[in-house]
């Protein structure tokens, strides 16, 4: 059951709030429609309920607000707008990634694909899907965790009549199993045809809260549905009699041999047909467009009963086709965010294309720098010109880190887990771990490819390994991994991929000059001999040449770029943790 109490959006500049004091209930086992014209506040109301938009009021899902539910995505299935997946991701890859994020078995993706009719296009890219298939995929995402509640924003928008009937059948089947369904629509006929209860919004305020039958009787335009082989003649006679009697009657010719007569009754239409000897196959009172007319061989009441029977049969078929219930482990697994991050990163070609571009640019730059000369071997192998703030490998790692947090900003299935962007330390650790692995691979491949290309072009002269390779290698790895972490932390903090990449570029452009200026001051003491003094303090001999490694790390941190990167990462991590704690306190 859903209980929305006093939902009010924050006021806009010189305008009233888009939603003002809206309260209603959506009961379990029923389909509830949130009806309103464009701009009435339907989408804003749903976002306020899901805590995706700031405002006042509260919404209870089975007696608890969303932020008090341990696993909200398993309680509420959400579809807001188009499916916001990466265009290059496959249909199956999209659902498997969301399975890993929600902690459900991966086989669930194939079960849901079978239910929504996407098993035949499971390997298609999201960018190739039609509007109808996109709606099916959105419904699959909402059903993935077997939620009790479905919250859908205009799910039938842009669908054909056949696809709309299929979607409405799925919603009815979910409600018949005891679930709660709330969907928004701008079509009163759809609301009356599908929902058990209709909540009407007008200009951001609650206008009516009615049962579907009362809504159809009081708020939809009644009509007489007529089917006759002489529909044209009958329509002309009805219009002529209305003009003669000065009555407001409108006759609308429908497809086939059907008429819709507004402003009249079955008795008046039947009398006209009888007086002129016109055969009538159907004559029934309806409210609005209540769907495809029933079998014309039966009477009016029998027709509605037959319609209800067919609807019940369809609902039973939907129930039998629904995916089986799943048992989700309630204890959080540390591997769950890691599985999600691996599927997210490997599901699209962005990482592969970026790595290939980095290797190609690095190889070309290293050959060019070797040709012009006057470049140290360390910069030559890293393909790092003095004029460039960062080498291509560091920029590529920073870019891959910055886009690592882009997915959570767009997926409602993930956003529902923490109201907005999920700020969980497990997810952050998984992203840092995967970005570290990617950066390490990129760093080693870059040096290896540059060594190989220099050997092929110039021979062994430029491929000699420096005696200080440990410190240089630590500096190189620290630079690339640090850039990747800076991109991850900044993107997660500012919720923007552009901000993540900007933070990476800010390290050499802004932070390094500040660090150099601070270190060049007369009052700054140096840390020379730090490893030796640390060893003397502990009175323990470092095993396996530990002093050597510690010295290499100290040299990396003492460098301007290393110190600036360390400072930037510390600041970003502290800011991220602070915002995480603030969101949890809320």
Q: Distance (Å, rounded) from C-alpha 513 to C-alpha 507?
A: 9
Question: According to DSSP H, which parts of 424-468 are helical?
Answer: 425-458
Provide the 3-class DSSP secondary structure of residue 2: strand
Burial of 160 (0-12, 13-18, 19+ CB in 10 A): exposed
Query: Do residues 244 and 275 touch, judged by C-beta distance below 8 A?
Result: no
Q: Distance (Å, rounded) from C-alpha 73 to C-alpha 70?
A: 9
Structure tokens that stand for 586 in this block? 């809320």
Query: Do residues 47 and 80 touch, judged by C-beta distance below 8 A?
Result: yes
DSSP 136-175: HHHHHHHHTT--SEEEEESTTTT--HHHHHHHHHHHHHHH
270, 210: one domain: no
307, 376: one domain: no
Q: Distance (Å, rounded) from C-alpha 393 to C-alpha 520?
A: 29
128, 29: one domain: yes
- Specify the pTM: 0.68
Residue 369 lies in a domain: yes
Instruction: Using CA atoms of 475, 480, 486, 492 in order, give the dihedral in degrees to the nearest 10.
Output: -150
Domain edge (last residue) among 184, 219, 254: 219
Q: Distance (Å, rounded) from C-alpha 356 to C-alpha 348?
A: 14
359, 312: one domain: no
208, 226: one domain: no
569, 495: one domain: yes
Burial of 13 (0-12, 13-18, 19+ CB in 10 A): exposed
Contacts of 565 (CB under 8 A, 6+ apart): 478, 479, 482, 483, 486, 507, 511
24, 83: one domain: yes
Q: Which residues are paired to 34 by β-bridges?
A: 184, 199
Question: What DSSP state is assigned to residue 298?
Answer: S
Residue 101 lies in a domain: yes
Longest dimension (CA), the chain: 117
523, 482: one domain: yes
Closest CA to 144 of 356, 413, 539, 387: 413
Residue 303 lies in a domain: yes
Structure tokens that stand for 349 in this block? 């070609």
pLDDT given for residue 583 in this prediction: 55
Residue 243, domain CATH: 3.30.70
The C-alpha angle with vertex 516 and arms to 513 and 519, in degrees rounded to 5, equals 150
Domain edge (last residue) among 219, 243, 267: 219
Query: Do residues 69 and 211 touch, judged by C-beta distance below 8 A?
Result: no
Query: Do residues 72 and 118 touch, judged by C-beta distance below 8 A?
Result: no
240, 207: one domain: no
Residue 494 lies in a domain: yes
Question: What DSSP state is assigned to residue 290?
Answer: -
Residue 326 lies in a domain: no
- Domain count for the chain: 3
pLDDT given for residue 316 in this prediction: 44
Q: Distance (Å, rounded) from C-alpha 527 to C-alpha 547?
A: 15
134, 268: one domain: no
Q: Which backbone phi and psi does 430 adopt, to 5 degrees?
A: -65, -40
Structure tokens that stand for 88 in this block? 């290059």
Residue 555 lies in a domain: yes
Q: Distance (Å, rounded) from C-alpha 60 to C-alpha 53?
A: 16
Q: At what angle do helices 392-402 and 497-506 cross, to 10 degrees?
A: 150
240, 214: one domain: no
pLDDT given for residue 149 in this prediction: 94
DSSP 517-572: HHHTSTTPPP-TTHHHHHHHHHT-PPGGGHHHHHHHHHHHHHSHHHHHHHHHHHHH
pLDDT given for residue 296 in this prediction: 33
pLDDT tens-digit series, residues 417-458: 433 344 567 778 888 999 999 999 999 999 999 999 988 888
User: pLDDT tens digits, the chain, 586 residues: what are they?
Assistant: 999 999 999 887 778 889 999 999 999 999 999 999 988 999 999 999 988 888 999 999 999 988 888 778 788 988 887 776 788 889 999 888 888 877 788 888 999 998 888 989 999 998 888 888 888 888 898 888 889 999 999 998 878 888 888 889 999 999 999 999 999 999 888 998 899 999 999 999 999 999 988 887 777 777 889 999 999 999 999 999 988 888 888 888 888 889 988 888 899 999 999 999 999 999 988 765 444 333 333 333 333 333 333 344 444 444 445 555 544 444 445 567 888 888 888 888 889 999 999 999 999 999 999 888 888 888 888 898 888 888 999 999 999 999 887 655 555 444 444 333 445 677 788 889 999 999 999 999 999 999 999 888 888 777 777 667 777 888 888 889 889 998 888 888 887 888 888 888 888 877 777 766 765 655 545 555 555 554 554 444 545 455 555 555 555 555 556 666 776 778 887 877 777 665 554 4
Domain edge (last residue) among 219, 249, 279: 219
- Cα 203 to Cα 18, 19, 32, 302, 304, distances in angstroms: 7, 8, 19, 41, 35
pLDDT given for residue 536 in this prediction: 54
Instruction: Using CA atoms of 207, 212, 218, 224 in order, give the dihedral in degrees to the nearest 10.
Output: 140
Q: Which domain holds residue 56?
A: 2-219
Which residue bears the tokens 């290293």? 366
Residue 328 lies in a domain: no
46, 192: one domain: yes
Residue 479 lies in a domain: yes
Question: According to DSSP H, which parts of 2-90 are helical?
Answer: 42-49, 72-75
Question: According to DSSP H, which parts of 459-507 are helical?
Answer: 469-494, 497-506
**Segment holding 78, helix H or strand E:** strand 76-80
pLDDT given for residue 552 in this prediction: 54
């Amino acid at each position: 059951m859903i209980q929305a109490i006093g939902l009010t959006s924050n006021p806009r500049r010189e305008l009233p709030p888009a939603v003002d004091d809206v309260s209603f209930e959506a009961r379990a086992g029923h389909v509830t429609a949130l009806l309103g014209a464009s701009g009435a506040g339907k989408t804003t109301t749903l976002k306020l309920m899901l805590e995706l938009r700031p405002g006042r009021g509260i919404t209870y899902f089975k007696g608890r607000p969303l932020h008090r539910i341990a696993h909200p995505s398993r309680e509420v299935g959400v579809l807001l707008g188009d499916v916001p997946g990466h265009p290059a991701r496959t249909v199956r890859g999209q659902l498997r990634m969301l399975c890993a994020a929600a902690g459900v078995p991966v086989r669930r993706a194939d079960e849901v694909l079978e239910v929504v009719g996407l098993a035949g296009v499971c390997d298609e890219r999201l960018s190739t899907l039609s509007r109808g298939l996109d709606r099916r995929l959105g419904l699959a995402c909402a059903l993935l965790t077997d939620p009790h509640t479905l919250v859908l924003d205009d799910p039938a928008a842009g669908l054909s009549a056949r696809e709309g009937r299929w979607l409405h059948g799925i919603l009815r089947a979910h409600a018949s199993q005891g679930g709660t369904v709330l969907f928004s629509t701008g079509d009163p006929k759809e609301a009356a045809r599908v929902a058990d209860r209709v909540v009407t919004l007008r200009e951001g305020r609650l206008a009516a809260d009615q049962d579907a039958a009362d809504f159809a009787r009081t708020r939809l335009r009644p009509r007489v549905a007529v089917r006759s082989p002489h529909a044209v003649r009958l329509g002309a006679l009805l219009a002529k009699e209305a003009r003669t009697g000065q009555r407001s009657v409108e006759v609308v010719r429908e497809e086939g041999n059907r008429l819709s007569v507004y402003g009249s009754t079955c008795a008046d239409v039947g009398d006209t047909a009888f007086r002129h000897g016109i055969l009538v196959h159907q004559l029934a009172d309806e409210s609005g467009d209540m769907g495809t007319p029933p079998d014309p061989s039966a009477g009016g009441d029998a027709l509605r009963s037959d319609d209800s029977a067919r609807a019940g049969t369809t609902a039973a078929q939907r129930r039998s086709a629904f995916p089986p219930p799943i048992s989700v482990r309630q204890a959080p697994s540390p591997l769950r965010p890691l599985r999600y991050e691996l599927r997210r990163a490997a599901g699209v070609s962005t990482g592969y294309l970026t790595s290939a571009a980095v290797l190609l640019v690095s190889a070309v730059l290293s050959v060019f720098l070797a040709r012009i000369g006057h470049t140290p071997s360390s910069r030559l192998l890293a393909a790092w010109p003095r004029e460039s703030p960062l080498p291509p490998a560091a920029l590529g790692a920073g870019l891959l880190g910055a886009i690592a947090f882009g997915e959570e900003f767009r997926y409602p299935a993930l956003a529902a887990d923490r109201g907005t962007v999920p700020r969980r330390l497990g997810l952050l650790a998984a992203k840092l771990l995967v970005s570290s692995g990617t950066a390490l691979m990129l760093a080693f491949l870059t040096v290896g490819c540059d060594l190989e290309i220099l050997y092929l072009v110039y021979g062994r002269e430029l491929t000699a390994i420096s005696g200080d390779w440990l410190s240089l290698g630590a500096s190189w790895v620290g630079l690339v991994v640090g850039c990747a972490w800076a991109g991850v932390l900044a993107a997660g903090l500012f919720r923007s991929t552009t901000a993540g990449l900007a933070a990476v570029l800010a390290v050499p452009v802004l932070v390094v000059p500040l660090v150099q200026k601070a270190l060049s001051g007369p009052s700054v003491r140096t840390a020379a001999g730090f490893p030796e003094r640390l060893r003397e303090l502990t009175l323990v001999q470092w095993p396996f040449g530990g002093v050597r490694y510690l010295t290499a790390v100290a040299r990396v941190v003492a460098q301007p770029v290393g110190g600036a990167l360390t400072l930037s990462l510390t600041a970003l991590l502290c800011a991220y943790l602070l915002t995480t704690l603030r969101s949890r306190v809320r």
